[in-house]
Amino acid sequence: MDSNALALFVDIVDAGNLSAAARHLKVTRANISYHLNQLEKSVGLQLMRRTTRRVALTEAGEALYRHGRVIRDEVLAARESASTMGQGLHGSVRLSLPTGFGHMVMSGWLIDFKRQYPGIALEVLFDNRVDDLLREEIDVVVRVMTEPPSHMVATELTSVRYTVCASSDYAHQHAMPTDLDALAQVPLITSAVSGRELRVSAYQHELRREVTLHPTLASENFQFLREAILAGLGVGLVPDYVVADDVAQGLVVTALHDWRLSIFGTRMFLLRMPNRYQTLAARTLIDFITHKVRAWAE
C-alpha cells in the first residue's frame, strides 16, 4: 500500500469531502479522486461513499482511517524531530484570539513567547467568530462562549465576568443603575451585536432573568469602549478586565455587583481541530497560553 495515498486518504476524511481536500492540499479535485480510486483498487474494497457535499466512510474505510491517522502522525513527528535536531524549536502556528482579551491581555504574553521561541513563526488573528478551522487553516483558537462547538477539541481556560461601570465623573453627575430595569434606561456602551437590541442573561443566586438593552455605542474594539467609558459617554457593560486598572485607580466605578451578567457567554475555551496533527510548535504554544491564562485568573 502506498503510504502517500494512505496519507491522502486521511486528509480527505479530515477535510470532509474531495473538493475541500483539494483546496487544502492545493491540487485538483481530479488528482485527489484518481489517487483515492487507486487506493481502493489496491485494497480491493470501497473505502468511502461520495456525495456532492460529504464523504461517508464504509466499515473498511473507518478501520483504514484509524490506522492511517496513526501512521501519518508518526511520520510527521519523525520528520519534525529530524528537521529540528540541533536547531532549536521552530515551525509556524496560526493563532486566532478574541478581539478584547487578545488585544488587552494576551498581546504582551505573545511577545514574551516570541522572545522565548524566536524560531517559531506566529501569525496572530483577532476575531470573535468561530470559523471552520480546517477551511481557515488556523491551528489554535481562543474564544469566549457559552458552550464550545461539538466538532472541536475544547480546553476550558477560565471564566469571564462582565461588569457594569462608568467613569467617576459620569457617576457624580448621573445616577448609576441600581437594578436591571434601570440598566435598560441608561446610555449603554458595550460590544457590537446584531441589530439594535441586546439580550443579556442575568443571574443572582438561583434566580435567572433576561433583560433587553439598547446600546447607544457599540464596537468590537474594546480599547475604544474603554476610552468611551472614561470619556463619560455612558454606562459600560464590558468584561471586567477592560477596566480593571481604571477601577483600581478610582477612575471608574462599578454597579450591580450582585448580578452575574452574560452577553456572549462567560466561559473561555482554547479550541483546535480533533484530527489535525499538532506540531511541537503548536503544542508548545498551547501549553504556554493555557499556563498564562490560568495563572492570570488566579
Q: Which pLDDT band, with edges at 50, 70 and 90, does 136 fall under?
A: low
Contact yes or no for 143/95 (Cβ under 8 A): no
pLDDT one-digit tens code per residue, 247-280 = 999 999 999 999 999 887 889 999 988 776 678 8
Question: Residue 193's pLDDT is what?
Answer: 66
Query: Which of 15-19, 125-129, 162-166, 265-269 has the least mean pLDDT?
Result: 15-19
Contact indicator for 84, 94 with CB cutoff of 8 Å: no
User: Residues near 16 by Cβ (< 8 Å), separated by ≥ 6?
Assistant: 54, 55, 134
Residue 218 has pLDDT above 80, yes or no: yes
Locate all alpha helices (DSSP H) within the chain, ordered by sequence. Answer: 3-15, 18-25, 29-43, 59-84, 99-101, 107-116, 133-136, 168-173, 180-183, 222-230, 240-248, 280-297
Q: Is 88 left (phi over 0), alpha (psi -120 to 50) or beta?
A: left
List of domains in the chain: 3-84 (1.10.10.10), 91-159+267-297 (3.40.190.10), 162-262 (3.40.190.290)
Residue 15: per-residue pLDDT = 76
pLDDT tens digits, 95-116 = 999 999 999 999 999 999 999 9
pLDDT, tens only, 67-84: 777 777 777 666 666 665
pLDDT of 36 reads 83
User: 132 pLDDT band (50/70/90 cuts)?
Assistant: low
- 247-276: burial string, b at 16+ Cβ within 10 Å, e else: beeeebbebbeebbbbbebbbbbbbbbebb
d(CA 58, CA 176): 63
Least confident of 98-112, 138-152, 282-296: 138-152
In the predicted model, what is the mean pLDDT of residues 144-159?
89
**Model pLDDT for residues 17-50, shown as the tens digit of each residue:** 788 778 877 888 888 888 888 888 888 888 888 7
Closest of 211, 84, 111, 98 to residue 157, by C-alpha: 98
Span 276-292, average pLDDT: 89
Residue-level pLDDT at 280: 86
